[in-house]
Amino acid sequence: MKKHWDNPQEHAMPQGVRVPASVQIGTVTVAPATVLAPMAGVTDTVFRRFIRNASVFTTGSDSAASVDATITNQQSGCGLIMTEFTSADGLSRMRETKRKRYLTYYDDEHPISAQLFGSNPDTLADSARIVQDAGFDLVDLNLGCPAKRVVACNGGSGLLKDLPQIERIFRAIRAAVSIPFTVKFRMGWNDKHIVCVELARLAEDCGLNACALHARTREDGYTGQARWEYIAACKDAVSIPVIGNGDIRTPEDAAAMVDITHCDAVMIGRTAPSNPWIFRQIAQYTASKEATGTGTYDHPADQDRYRMIRDYFGMLVDEIAIEEAAEAARAATITASGQVAREQRHRDCVGKMKQFASWFTHGVPGGGALRKQIFESKNGPAVLDAIESFFANRATVLEKEDAVAEVDETMLASAAAYCD
Ligand SMILES: Cc1cc2nc3c(=O)[nH]c(=O)nc-3n(C[C@H](O)[C@H](O)[C@H](O)COP(=O)(O)O)c2cc1C
């Protein structure tokens, strides 16, 4: 995952503009009009529920909120979540039980959209039916993935060079399902082949209910700035909702995107793993701006980060326990291949903890030491222990720091630098 942006553009607070309170996508109301972008390897059910349910601040204006309370979309600030992309070919070939694992979601994830990729209209239509039958609220087609292995099979952004094939796919999926159908695409293959406006019109003609543009070409990868003017051009061209995506890092960025493009909703990807409060911050910013004319929002404190890491890791471990209980209910004895799968699942869980730890601890003084400890941990409980003791010790360190703050502040600065 690319963590940094090339020369991020700083956006001042736009006057009189807000992220819309809602957007209607076919029969589904998305409120507020914010979407968690699909991210392979990131937006699994645990992360999606984490964004929905665990992103309340324990300090600041949210301090009275109960961590265990059910949280509405309005409170979390995230109106729609999406699965990572799933291969239509794979899905249509899989056995029922394996399909269920790929399409796992929980009741509190609604509204939820499942994203598919592929190039064969019939297979994609079959998979869209599977998604609809699994109870998803929307189905989305991926026309943006730049990965070579996907493009090589004409999937993802590979299709951007073949609009007639896209039309066949659009029509096949549209005929197959009655749930809202959306598409997420890049601007085109490269600067000589920009097709986003044509594609948005095609989507509308074929009965799709919304489109989302990541405002870069396939050749751009993640370099340079997302070119929001192309989101504006799509918005001008169609009357179905247009969701803007690319380079939103702050609530100010989200409002600026709406200001510049008039898009109907904003979609956020890379910011979410390092700042899961982003949706909540956008909601706070919007509400305070409406009330007072000035947008303000809370910033995570140490204990917010601590709770965030602990909750997320706890949810990962719980999910494994749920999967294992389901397996045990299906088969009385664990086969050798079942045992291999089980061990792999535990390794994946620890791998995910390590990956997330590095995103989550950015900006935490001494976070480098914690990251090192987590990377050296052999299993889930060891990772959790490292986190517990880091934050417990940190509370003591902070108390001591407070006590000596009056004595020598520069010494403290050097100590913090030494720890990190
Ligand atoms: C690790 C990672 C995985 C991604 N996986 C998907 C995916 O499965 N489907 C998709 O449409 N886009 C995927 N994307 C692209 C994002 O959805 C989004 O379009 C892109 O990151 C730009 O938005 P951002 O600037 O808010 O991150 C992925 C991006 C990243 C960083």
Q: Is the CB of 144 under 6 A from ligand 1?
A: yes
How far away, in angstroms, is 308 Cα from ligand 1 center?
22
Q: Give the per-residue pLDDT at 178.
A: 98
The predicted-structure confidence for 316-359, as pLDDT tens digits, reads as follows: 888 888 877 877 777 766 677 777 777 887 888 888 888 887 77
Phi, psi of 221 (to 5 degrees): 60, -120
Q: 272, 5 in Cβ contact below 8 A?
A: no
Q: 373, 353 in Cβ contact below 8 A?
A: no
Identify the residue whose C-alpha is closest to ligand 1 atom 19: 214
Burial class (CB in 10 A: 0-12, 13-18, 19+), 365: middle
Q: Give the per-residue pLDDT at 280.
A: 93
Of 2, 9, 36, 39, best ligand 1 pocket probe by most atoms within 8 Å of the beta carbon: 39
How far away, in angstroms, is 39 Cα from ligand 1 center?
5
The predicted-structure confidence for 69-89, as pLDDT tens digits, reads as follows: 567 777 789 999 999 999 999
Q: Is the CB of 42 under 6 A from ligand 1?
A: yes
Angstrom distance (rounded) from CA 299 to CA 263: 26
**58 vs 292 pLDDT, higher one:** 292
Q: Give the per-residue pLDDT at 62.
A: 53
User: Residues 17-33: what's their mean pLDDT?
Assistant: 95
CA angle 176, 179, 183 (to 5 degrees): 85
Give the pLDDT band (50/70/90) at residue 207. very high
Q: Which of 78, 145, 211, 263 is catalytic?
A: 145
Distances (CA, A) of 60 to 267, 303, 345: 26, 12, 37
Nearest atom within ligand 1 for CA of residue 249: 26
The predicted-structure confidence for 213-239, as pLDDT tens digits, reads as follows: 999 999 999 899 999 999 999 999 999
Angstrom distance (rounded) from CA 41 to CA 268: 16
Q: What is the 3-state secondary structure (H, E, C) of the chain?
A: CCCCCCCCCCCCCCCCCCCCCCEEECCEEECCCEEECCCCCCCCHHHHHHHHHCCCCCCHHHCCCCCCCCCCHHHHCCCEEECCCEEHHHHHHCCHHHHHHHCCCCHHHCCEEEEEECCCHHHHHHHHHHHHHCCCCEEEEEECCCCHHHHCCCCHHHHHHCHHHHHHHHHHHHHHCCCCEEEEEECECCCCCECHHHHHHHHHHCCCCEEEEECCCCCCCCCCCCCCHHHHHHHHHCCCCEEEECCCCCHHHHHHHHHHHCCCEEEECCHHHHCCCHHHHHHHHHHHHHHHCCCCCCCCCHHHHHHHHHHHHHHHHHHHHHHHHHHHHHCCCCCHHHHHHHHHHHHHHHHHHHHHHHHHCCCCCCHHHHHHHHHHCCCHHHHHHHHHHHHHHHHHHHHHHHHHHCCCHHHHHHHHHHHC
The predicted-structure confidence for 119-170, as pLDDT tens digits, reads as follows: 999 999 999 999 999 999 999 999 988 888 888 777 888 899 999 999 999 9
How far away, in angstroms, is 222 Cα from ligand 1 center?
9
Q: Give the per-residue pLDDT at 70.
A: 66
User: Residues 289-304: what's their mean pLDDT?
Assistant: 87
**44 vs 357 pLDDT, higher one:** 44
Q: What is the mean pLDDT of the chain?
A: 84
Nearest atom within ligand 1 for CA of residue 245: 23
| pTM score, whole prediction | 0.87
Question: What residues does 150 pair with on adjacent strands?
Answer: none
Q: Give the per-residue pLDDT at 413.
A: 34
